[in-house]
């Protein structure tokens, strides 16, 4: 595959993993041993927060009253889209049964997890959309109890719009608690909450590491790294829109990679010329993030053909993948590794991040090569069952006994033997491993 880097990343996305792991492991251990009191200690230390952790109904109502009506309408619009898409996903996951052979029926049943914990970032940016994305999807899945937590700010508490979004979406309890202590509270069942069976939602490297350490004791949506985005564009693409979309994703954080893959050198050069001015026009914090992300992690890759472009994209397996190129149907059929796909100039990652209905909690750091993003399915256990008549167990029992003996698992073999002896006492069977 022909590939020329017109801009190459200076750094690879990541953090001081060892130091982060040690810090998070210590915090989790202390909170698990000390419970509510230690969690509150960390809330005071990291957030400077002395207020109520579990928001009361009055506090929720007061927060909701602070949200402008137009913003409420926008949140309701996004919530409705996300809810309806999640309901369509749920409809695609159905219980089933199948008669494998006469007298032997097996099936599957979709059962929602009991308790979900949803983390909503509130540090650099207050992620209103994350509250809707996570809580709504858990609600549609049928989780009995949904906790949401978000970092409070001194003198303000949790962002009122986040409280409104979580409440609208169906959160049973909302906590003013962020970081590792928030994740721990949901996982360990602090402050009277049920222990979460699954933890979901984006967060910084400490939140991500807490989820990674806890994985196995609880389920998680995924092990997340910095958000990343890739745009495939050909000569037909609008360079200004391509550049704007790259910058819009670079503002996520200083280590958020953005990549452009194209087969048109003129487009690539125009986009690279436009990006610096677009970054310079952002507000201060956004500008600092986008500048560092583009400088250190941004890449522009020139390929010879559209097949080369598709292969390059699949190799990167981006979290967000945008195609601004001709023959969109070809790209949709050909591309295989992405968290969410945005086809054509008329849509953009920002739409998916906020309001179209698809979920914005997506696999990062190449994980899209083997998994998808948050969905109703993540909150659902697909379990299997089976039932047989005595006649239906005849052949299965014989095969089970012989396979088990070949494996050396005599106890398994005898579980089949006793059924054959009981159900068919007048028959003899060759159940030896080498018969």
For the chain, the domains span 3-13+226-371, 35-221+377-382, 390-435
pLDDT digits (tens, 9 = 90+) for 115-124: 999 999 987 7
* Residue 79: active-site member: no
Tell me the DSSP string of 25-64.
HHHHHHHHHHTHHHHHHHIIIII---S-SB--HHHHHHHH
Looking at residue 218, the DSSP 8-state letter turns out to be B
Give the pLDDT of residue 124: 73
Same fold, 3-13+226-371 and 35-221+377-382: yes
Helix, strand, or coil (residue 418): helix
Low-confidence winner among 151-155, 248-252, 302-306, 353-357 (lowest mean pLDDT): 151-155
Instruction: Give the CA distances from residue 39 to residues 79, 148, 316, in Å, rounded to whole numbers and listed in that order.
Output: 31, 16, 39
- Establish whether 307 is a catalytic residue: no
pLDDT of residue 259: 98
| Predicted confidence (pLDDT) per residue in 197-221, tens digit | 999 999 999 999 999 999 999 999 9
Residue 62 in this model has a pLDDT that exceeds 60: yes
Asked if residue 43 lies in contact with residue 177, where contact means CB atoms within 8 angstroms, the answer is yes
CATH number 1.10.10.10 given to 3-13+226-371:
no
pLDDT band at 1, cuts 50/70/90?
A: low
pLDDT digits 0-9 by tens, 99-144: 999 999 999 999 999 999 999 998 777 899 999 999 999 999 999 9
pLDDT score recorded for residue 14: 54
**Assign residue 431 a region: left if phi > 0, alpha if psi is -120 to 50, beta otherwise?**
alpha
Kindly indicate the confidence band of residue 223, based on its pLDDT and cuts at 50, 70 and 90. confident
Confidence (pTM): 0.93
- The per-residue pLDDT for 121 is 93
Q: Which of 326, 320, 325, 382 is nearest to 351 (CA)?
A: 320
Question: For residue 18, what pLDDT is reported?
Answer: 87
Specify the residue for token string 């990291």. 46
Does position 2 have pLDDT exceeding 80, yes or no?
no
Average confidence (pLDDT) over 68-81:
97
Q: Quick: pLDDT tens for 392-429.
A: 999 999 999 999 999 999 999 999 999 999 999 999 99
Q: Which fold has domain 35-221+377-382?
A: Rossmann fold (3.40.50)
- Percent of the residues in the chain that have a pLDDT greater than 70, as a whole number: 99
Phi/psi at 88 (5° precision): -65, -40
Greatest alpha-carbon span in the chain: 88
Is it the case that residue 13 has pLDDT exceeding 70?
no
pLDDT computed for residue 435 by the predictor: 64
The per-residue pLDDT for 117 is 98
CA distances to 40, 181, 269 from 37, rounded to whole Å, are: 5, 11, 56
What number is the average pLDDT over the span 303-308? 97
* DSSP states along 141-192: HT-SEEEEEE--BTTTBS-HHHHHHHHHHT-SEEEE--HHHHHHHHHHT-TT
How much is the pLDDT for 224?
85
Residue for token pair 């109502």:
61
- What percentage of the chain reaches a pLDDT higher than 90? 91
Q: What sign results for the dihedral spanned by CA atoms 356, 361, 366, 371? A: negative
Annotated catalytic residue within 209, 251, 299, 319: 319
Strand 258-262, strand 299-303: pairing: parallel
Give the mean pLDDT of 251-278.
97
Query: Does the pLDDT value for residue 15 go beyond 80?
Result: no
Q: Which tokens go with 222?
A: 């995924």
Region 306-332: what's the mean pLDDT?
98
Catalytic pick among 41, 320, 412, 427: 320
């Amino acid at each position: 595959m022909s590939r020329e880097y017109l801009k190459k990343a200076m750094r690879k996305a990541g953090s001081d993993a060892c130091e982060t792991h040690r810090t998070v492991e210590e915090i989790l251990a202390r909170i698990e041993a000390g419970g509510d009191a230690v969690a509150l200690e960390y809330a005071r230390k990291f957030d400077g927060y002395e207020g109520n952790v579990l928001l009361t109904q009055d506090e929720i109502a007061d927060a909701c009253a602070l949200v402008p009506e137009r913003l409420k309408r926008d949140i309701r619009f996004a919530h409705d889209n996300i809810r309806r898409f999640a309901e369509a996903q749920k409809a695609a996951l159905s219980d089933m049964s199948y008669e494998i052979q006469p007298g032997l029926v097996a099936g599957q049943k979709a059962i929602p997890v009991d308790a979900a914990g949803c983390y909503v970032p509130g540090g650099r940016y207050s992620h209103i959309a994350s509250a809707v994305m996570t809580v709504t999807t858990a609600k549609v899945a049928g989780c009995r109890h949904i906790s949401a937590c978000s970092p409070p700010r001194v003198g303000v508490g949790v962002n009122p719009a986040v409280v409104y979004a979580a409440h609208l979406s169906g959160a049973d309890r909302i906590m003013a608690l962020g970081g590792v202590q928030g994740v721990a509270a949901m996982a360990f069942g602090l402050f009277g909450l049920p222990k979460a069976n699954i933890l979901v939602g984006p967060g910084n490297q400490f939140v991500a590491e807490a989820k990674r350490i806890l994985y196995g004791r609880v389920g998680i949506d995924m092990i997340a790294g910095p958000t990343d985005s890739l745009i495939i564009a050909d000569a037909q693409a609008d360079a200004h829109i391509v550049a704007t979309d790259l910058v819009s994703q670079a503002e996520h954080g200083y280590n958020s990679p953005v990549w452009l893959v194209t087969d048109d050198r003129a487009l690539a050069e125009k986009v690279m010329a436009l990006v610096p001015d677009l970054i310079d026009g952002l507000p201060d914090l956004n500008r600092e993030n986008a500048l560092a992300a583009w400088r250190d992690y941004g890449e522009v890759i020139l390929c010879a053909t559209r097949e080369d472009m598709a292969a390059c994209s699949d190799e990167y397996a981006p979290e967000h993948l945008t195609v601004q190129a001709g023959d969109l149907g070809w790209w949709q059929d050909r591309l295989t590794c992405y968290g969410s796909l945005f086809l054509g100039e008329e849509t953009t990652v920002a739409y998916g991040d906020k309001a179209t209905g698809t979920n914005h909690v997506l696999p990062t750091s190449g994980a899209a090569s083997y998994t998808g993003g948050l969905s109703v399915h993540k909150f659902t256990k697909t379990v299997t069952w089976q039932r047989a008549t005595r006649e239906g167990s005849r052949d299965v029992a014989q095969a089970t006994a012989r396979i088990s003996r070949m494996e050396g698992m005599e106890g398994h073999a005898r579980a089949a033997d006793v059924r054959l002896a009981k159900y068919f006492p007048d028959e003899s069977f060759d159940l030896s491993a080498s018969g």
